[in-house]
Structure 1
């Protein structure tokens, strides 16, 4: 028989258990998440993965995340939009350039030569966000939650290089059409390759040079199979986070606000972290100090010539924008007009 005193003790406990059970039931929602390739390194390892591993805590929502890097799922990073449209995942860490064949509008975030530094890249992103979000919702039923850069995408070569002209006849790994067109313009032979294929391709001589960020190159051991790094930043390798509209529409307006706030905090953090990693990795790749986060190698760090800076700058209006606009306008008739009305105003291109 339960005494009056014991009943008074048990009632709060029962209420607490009921509340715990209720929260636990709510937390049974689990999002399936496609992450960045683990091979890309420290942004994925130290920022992205911890965020999704602690998703409920970071968002303040009773939702867990089943997070897996794309290179561990057996999915090509060029197929992310199609997979999201098919409803197979709830959130994707979207590889922007790699998916631009399926949606050329994406590449407006990161055209060759448009963003020579982090500050400009941030302005481009903020100017273009709403335009890109609207397009992704319409075409692929996903909503953009935020974007961030890996950092300047530079050249790594296994043959001596002192300027862009040295690329003549060399096979160069690229990851989108815009970059391929630029490499062609300086005499190189563009070879499209997924990131995880590059180390072996360099080792076997399938390509002579490859383009990526200094930190990603360091994490994946590219300096083991190259001799020179040329820090001319072609693009910023912007990547985004997007949620399926099906999952988004199940959230209340308040929950949507919490979700957006969490991803804004994450992407802001990565913007800062990316800039720190880039300089550190440049030092590490060349065997210089300070080298805090990466592994030391001994690449020749080739100074960028003023001539090559000018070549890249000139290419924006001569190659990057018109090449992209022709492709994008076929898929999305207002594509280049929308870009010029947003990004174009920020970077002075009309």
Structure 2
């Protein structure tokens, strides 16, 4: 045997093994909607670190916050087509595509985290099945704090909202604004300060987290803590990218997603009062909605629940029935 070949073959085999190992490492990008200080993005970063460690480098996830890669309306399509492997977005934004996606944005169905969790458990399987048909795998959810109303001027009844330019961020909040007598205007969270400043909107319903992120005290004065509903962001992965992983890595990613969901829901509970306190500390007048507004919201919630059930059909009824158990 040629002595050179005797030593070269093992070396070549070692090089081939290294090359195979290097190719096995999957480098994913995660498009996150919110800025770094938002606890939903914090959860995404912790998820990425968890996956990196749990898979021992087989999967490396880089988080891109504040919608720098894709805007909310682009995220699902980007994940579906593989432009980005992982995406985080407000799931109710997809309500026009399928009503199951927006069940958590129907006012008054779930106004506290216990109810919101039951609603999520009741709807998760159906939501995941719809995403799966489109080449997307559901990983985990993180809820927003309860959605409440911000205004520049005080309100005493629902009539005060008539003609008011009201921020909407999905079909459900646009419908809510209409039923309140307001005029909906679609505005992404990052554009809220400018929209208030230019007069595009005069009021909004959103979480105290978005209020703090956008420094709402600079452009609005009143925070009515109506806790109308609790929407969620959902983190999803391209199914083909997930299928390429080894079985062990797949299990590790799903286990990390389960831990991320647990942390995210715990953070939402812990942060809500703190965020409302920050609004008050910075000069906003914080309090419950006037009784007349609360009463009208109850009627609006009933109307929207009925409308949603008509759209969602048997699947929608099954979700609501399961959430009540």
Instruction: State the TM-score, normalizing by the size of structure 1.
Output: 0.81
Q: Residue in 2 aligned with 1:239?
A: 233
How far 1:345 moved relative to its partner?
A: 3.4
CA contact (8 A) 1:109 1:128 kept: no
2:305 is aligned with 1:320: yes
User: Which stretch of the first structure deviates more once superposed, 233-242 or 55-64?
Assistant: 55-64
Shift of 1:168: 1.7
TM-score (structure 2 length as normaliser): 0.86
In 2: Cα distance, 1:104 partner to 1:81 partner = 16
1:119-148 Cα deviation digits (max 9, x unpaired): 10000001111111001111x210111212
1:32 counterpart = 2:29: yes
Q: Residue 153 of structure 1 corresponds to which residue in structure 2?
A: 147
Relative distance call for 1:196 and 1:58 in structure 2 (3 A) is farther
Question: What is aligned with 1:171?
Answer: 165
> Are 1:303 and 2:288 an aligned pair?
yes
CA distance in 1, matches of 2:102, 2:54: 29
Q: What's the counterpart of residue 8 of structure 2?
A: none
Measured in 1, the distance between the counterparts of 2:238 and 2:118 equals 26
Matched residue, 2:223: 229
Query: Which of the pair has the greater relative contact order for Cα pairs under 8 Å at 6+ separation?
Result: 2
Output the CA distance in 1 between the equivalents of 2:20 and 2:292: 61
- 1-side partners of 2:238 and 2:256: how far apart? 17
Q: Please state how far the C-alpha of 1:70 moved relative to its aligned partner.
A: 5.0
**Candidates 58, 65, 69, aligned match of 1:69:** 65
Deviations 1:169-195 (A, max 9, x none): 211101112222222112111111111
Structure 2 contact 106–304 (Cα < 8 Å) conserved: no
Task: Say whether the 8 Å CA contact 2:144–2:232 is kept in structure 1.
Answer: yes
**For the residues of structure 1 that align with 2:248 and 2:298, how far apart are their CA atoms?**
44
Q: In the alignment, which residue of structure 2 is the partner of 1:336?
A: 313
2:148 & 2:204 partners in 1: Cα distance? Answer: 8
| Change over 3 Å in CA distance of 1:44–1:303 after alignment to 2 | closer
Q: What RMSD in Å do the two structures reach over aligned CA positions?
A: 2.6
CA distance in 2, matches of 1:121, 1:158: 29
Equivalent residues, number: 312
User: 2 CA distance for matches of 1:123 and 1:60?
Assistant: 34
Q: Does 1:49 align with 2:13?
A: no
2:130 corresponds in structure 1 to 135
